[in-house]
Amino acid sequence: MKKVLLFSLFLLIGLFFSQVLPSLFSDTYETFVFVFKNLMFICLAFIMINVGREFELNKAKWKSYTEDYFIAMATAAVPWLLVAFYYIYILPYNDLSWDKNLLVSRFAAPTSAGILFTMLAAAGLKKEWIYQKTQVLAIFDDLDTILLMIPLQILMIGFKWQLFAIVLVVCLLLVFGWKKLNSLNLPQSWKAIVIYSVCLVAACESIYLISTVFMGQEGAIHLEVLLPAFVLGMVMKTVHKTGKEEENAAGFISYLFMFLVGLSTPLFVGIDTEAAGFHLPDWGTIALHVCAVTLLSNIGKMFPLFFYRDRNILERLALSIGMFTRGEVGAGIIVIALGYQLGGIAVIVSILSLVLNLVLTGFFVVAVKKIAQRVYGVKE
Please give the pLDDT value at position 123: 64
Determine, yes or no, domain membership for 22: no
Determine, yes or no, domain membership for 173: yes
Calculate helix-pair angle for 345-376, 313-322, nearest 10 degrees: 150
Question: Are the CB atoms for 141 and 68 separated by under 8 Å?
Answer: no
Residue partners of 325: CB distance under 8 A and separation at least 6: 111, 112, 115, 116, 119, 357, 361, 364, 365
Determine, yes or no, domain membership for 269: no
Phi then psi dihedrals of residue 236, to 5 deg? -70, 140
* Distance in angstroms (rounded) separating the CA atoms of residues 137 and 339: 28
- How far is CA 231 from its chain centroid? 15
* Distance in angstroms (rounded) separating the CA atoms of residues 140 and 136: 6
Number of domains in the chain: 1
Radius of gyration of the chain (CA): 20
Determine, yes or no, domain membership for 326: yes
Please give the pLDDT value at position 160: 67
Q: Which of 61, 351, 101 is nearest to 181 (CA)?
A: 61
Question: What is the DSSP secondary-structure string of 247-298?
Answer: HHHHHHHHHHHHHHHHHTSPP-SSS-HHHHT-----HHHHHHHHHHHHHHHH
Question: What is the DSSP secondary-structure string of 52-66?
Answer: HHT----GGGGGGGH
Dihedral angle sign, alpha carbons of residues 28, 31, 37, 40: negative
| DSSP tag of 110 | -
Determine, yes or no, domain membership for 8: no
Determine, yes or no, domain membership for 4: no
Determine, yes or no, domain membership for 34: no
Please give the pLDDT value at position 242: 66
Question: What CATH code is carried by the domain that includes residue 234?
Answer: 1.20.1530
Question: Are the CB atoms for 216 and 270 separated by under 8 Å?
Answer: no
pLDDT digits (tens, 9 = 90+) for 6-31: 777 887 888 788 777 777 776 776 77
Domain that holds residue 176: 41-245+274-376
pLDDT < 50 stretches in the chain:
none
Please give the pLDDT value at position 119: 65
Please give the pLDDT value at position 336: 77
Please give the pLDDT value at position 276: 54
Determine, yes or no, domain membership for 162: yes
3-state secondary structure of 41: helix
